Amino acid sequence: MGKLFIVFFLVIMSVPSFAQDATIEKEITELSKQKWQWMADKDVDKLADLFHDKSRFVHMSGSWKKDRELEIIKTGSIWYKNADLHDVVVENFGDGTVVLWNRITLLAHVRGNDVTTEFTVTEFYKKEGDDWKLLDLTFSSVRDTHEIEH
């Protein structure tokens, strides 16, 4: 009986915990929501801490790195006023890498105009020490009927 318990314990410890996955999914979902609020508030200090130094941002008009994204947010050349989240899917890859997909309606101030656009946003996160870092944020323009398969 003792040996069977030890083998069972070792097998259980080697399989990722569903509870751990759920905790990580909740943590990343909340972090993503905070990120949208920090973007709306133009809180570049919190965003600078969240964005990995090598992070990339893919928009409809181009792709760039962390420093330019922070400058765009700080100056308000793109002001992410409100992201209305419709759906969220999180996939934990078990190696400290997590991908989150949001389907959002984004109200933004761009080039002097308020615009509302439907997007699926893909966010890649990597755990570094105790902190999650955003590696990539990609906007994909979609129809309002777009669905993310769960």
**pLDDT for the residue 58:** 94
- The two three-digit tokens of residue 138, written as one number: 């990609």
Say whether pLDDT at 3 is over 80: no
What is the number of other CB atoms lying within 10 angstroms of the CB of residue 109? Answer: 14
Say whether pLDDT at 16 is over 50: yes
Question: Which region among 10-19, 40-49, 82-91, 138-147 has the lowest average model confidence (pLDDT)?
Answer: 10-19
Cα(36)–Cα(84) distance, integer angstroms:
9
The CATH architecture assigned to 16-141 reads: Roll (3.10)
Q: Domain residues of the chain, as ranges?
A: 16-141
The fraction of the chain above a pLDDT of 70, given in percent, is 86
Lookup result for tokens 């133009």: 42
Cα(95)–Cα(40) distance, integer angstroms:
31
Say whether pLDDT at 6 is over 90: no
- Calculate the CA 101 to chain-centre distance: 7
What is the number of other CB atoms lying within 10 angstroms of the CB of residue 82? Answer: 15
Cα(138)–Cα(124) distance, integer angstroms:
9
| More reliable by pLDDT, 67 or 1 | 67
Question: Which region among 19-23, 48-52, 84-88 has the lowest average model confidence (pLDDT)?
Answer: 19-23
Taking residues 21-47, what's their average pLDDT?
A: 96
Say whether pLDDT at 47 is over 90: yes
**pLDDT for the residue 150:** 79
- The two three-digit tokens of residue 43, written as one number: 């809180």
What is the number of other CB atoms lying within 10 angstroms of the CB of residue 73? Answer: 21
Partnered with residue 141 across adjacent β-strands are 119
Say whether pLDDT at 96 is over 60: yes
